[in-house]
Amino acid sequence: MIVEAASLRFHALAQGPEDGPLVLLLHGFPELSRSWRHQLPALAAAGYRAVAPDLRGYGGTDALGPYDVRTLARDVDALIGALGRERATVVGHDWGGVIAWAAAHLHPDRVERLAIMNAPHPVLMKKELTASGDQRHRSRYILQFQVPFLPERRLSRDRGAAIARALRGGSYVRDAWPDEELEHYRRAFDEPRKLRGPLAYYRTAFRNALLRRGPRLPGRIEVPTLVLWGMRDRFLAPSFADPQALERFVRDLTVVPIDDAGHFVQNEAPERVSDELVRWLQASGAQHAPEQPDAEHCREHEAEH
């Protein structure tokens, strides 16, 4: 499926009835739309229209900057409109979660519900990086990514072998990544040019933090918000899922810790994540069918699942 939005062509996977409530799923690094391959059919079976795009610069989506958080949040706004909807449930993991947090603050009229998986609220992440030696240690790879050119070459070497190691080695449940699944990611990141966009997310965020020009995230998120957190995360501290810390930013909050999963929670505990997500959507009232998608903006092609 190709979606034209924000002057880009987004490659996306989609399942579920076209008139079902829209759920937009945003992946993280170093991932792809297929990171949601377990949740897409589960959401479709429950009657939702589930759409998972490759983010700007990833996979089959155009690699055009800029890659600042405000622009990435605007992509969410544009994608929802291009899919012919006024509002959607936005689900995000890792970088996709950061974008989802920002979209809920900056485009509140577009986000009907918000679900976050192992992605810190941007304000809390900034605070922890300056105050916590533990989180700086966990996030030391961000500094490594600031070096020009070298990370692209290192990560793409040997057909993206380092990407495969990062996914499997960064997981608590390592058998979530069989060799045949990792082949998709190795192909997607097997050349330095294929990593320029994904690494630009980190470089832009780091530069903007140094220059103190990151986006202000106004107001409090009013819509129902679910946080699913794999508690064995190697990269992000479990304190990011502390309800007391998050209630400063969210009015209607549900936090579900998942003890036997790590950072890549939707792949490490796929059935649990799908069940929790569908249950929460149904309990929070995301059951009505909105208008049909706009065929002029959304052209479907055979998608690989």
The C-alpha R_g of the chain, in whole angstroms, comes to: 18
How far apart are alpha carbons 76 and 100 in whole angstroms?
8
Residue 105 tokens read as: 């603050």
- Catalytic residue list contains 263: yes
Active-site residue (options: 27, 93, 105, 263): 263
What Å distances lie between residue 65 and 24, 75, 147, 248, CA to CA? 21, 11, 19, 32
Amino acid identity of residue 148, one-letter, is P
Active-site residue (options: 48, 201, 202, 233): 202
Half-sphere exposure of 72 (CA within 13 A, CB side): 31
Active-site residue (options: 94, 121, 185, 233): 94
Helix (H, G, I), strand (E, B) or coil at 111: strand
| Among 268, 271, 276, CA closest to 116 | 276
How far apart are alpha carbons 170 and 263 in whole angstroms?
7
Q: Point out the residues that are catalytic.
A: 94, 202, 263
